[in-house]
Amino acid sequence: MAKILIIEDEAKLADTLAYNIREEGHEALVVLDGLAGLEKARSESPNLIILDLMLPKMDGLEVCRLVRRDSDVPIIMLTAKSRELDKVVGLEIGADDYVTKPFSMVEMLARIKATLRRSRTQVRQTEVIRAGDLEMDVARHLVSINGSIVDLRPKEFELLRVLLVNKARVLNRTTLLQLVWGEDEYIDAGTVDVHIRRLREKIEADPGNPSRVLTVRGLGYKYAE
């Protein structure tokens, strides 16, 4: 059973969602504005948040951004707009998935299930991974180099974690996609390269000549020994 927080100002939609989530055996909490949603996200520590984009008091993007500061709880964004740009924006700020309104309840419940399953396979216990002067505190979602915190987005963090726990082992793009992104249909292998580049810009002294995240030509990537 998971605790699921629904932040949605359309009361009828929120109630229908909550009803269906409870039918699946989960606990559902409903909050009708962004500010109250942020407070509930902090006080209730839900296992998953369903977050509407357009909300009174504080919009969904801001809620997502602020929740992400101290939590890696999975977030599914809801929006009435279907433009690709919104999709990108939603994922850039750290949402895990994206559902466009109107949606079918069957689809929504499937997304919830997939997101919960993915988050359970991630490491949750206290664990610190070290590689030279780089340190990753998995539970606190912190990465530091020489004691200075590096600001990583959730997917960059997860990508680095996967590379670190497989240190010195070459991982191809398909494997990285499966381990970091799961089965999102709109993600392709190019996404891996984009995130590798962003990660290097944040953790490499010289991103053009990396010493941590190495390219193994024709095979994939590995974290240096």
Residues in touch with Ca ion (CB under 5 A): 9, 52, 54
Nearest residue to 150 (alpha-carbon basis) of 203, 195, 197, 207:
203
What crossing angle do the helices spanning 189-203 and 154-165 adopt, rounded to 10°? 90
3-state secondary structure of 133: coil
Name the minimum Å distance from CB 65 to Ca ion: 17
Cα 162 to Cα 81: distance, rounded to the nearest angstrom? 33
Determine the distance from the C-alpha atom of residue 189 to the mean position of all C-alpha atoms in its chain, rounded to a whole number: 18
Q: Quick one: 9 or 86, whose CB is closer to Ca ion?
A: 9
Name the minimum Å distance from CB 79 to Ca ion: 8
Name the minimum Å distance from CB 85 to Ca ion: 18
Determine the distance from the C-alpha atom of residue 162 to the mean position of all C-alpha atoms in its chain, rounded to a whole number: 14
Tokens of 129: 């991974």
Q: Quick one: 34 or 154, whose CB is closer to Ca ion?
A: 34
Name the minimum Å distance from CB 33 to Ca ion: 10
- Residue identified by tokens 């499937």 is 110
Q: Quick one: 5 or 152, whose CB is closer to Ca ion?
A: 5
What one-character DSSP code corresponds to residue 146?
A: T
Q: Quick one: 7 or 192, whose CB is closer to Ca ion?
A: 7
Q: Of all residues in this chain, which one has the CB nearest to Ca ion in the complex?
A: 54
Cα 90 to Cα 219: distance, rounded to the nearest angstrom? 31
Name the minimum Å distance from CB 80 to Ca ion: 7
Q: Quick one: 61 or 163, whose CB is closer to Ca ion?
A: 61
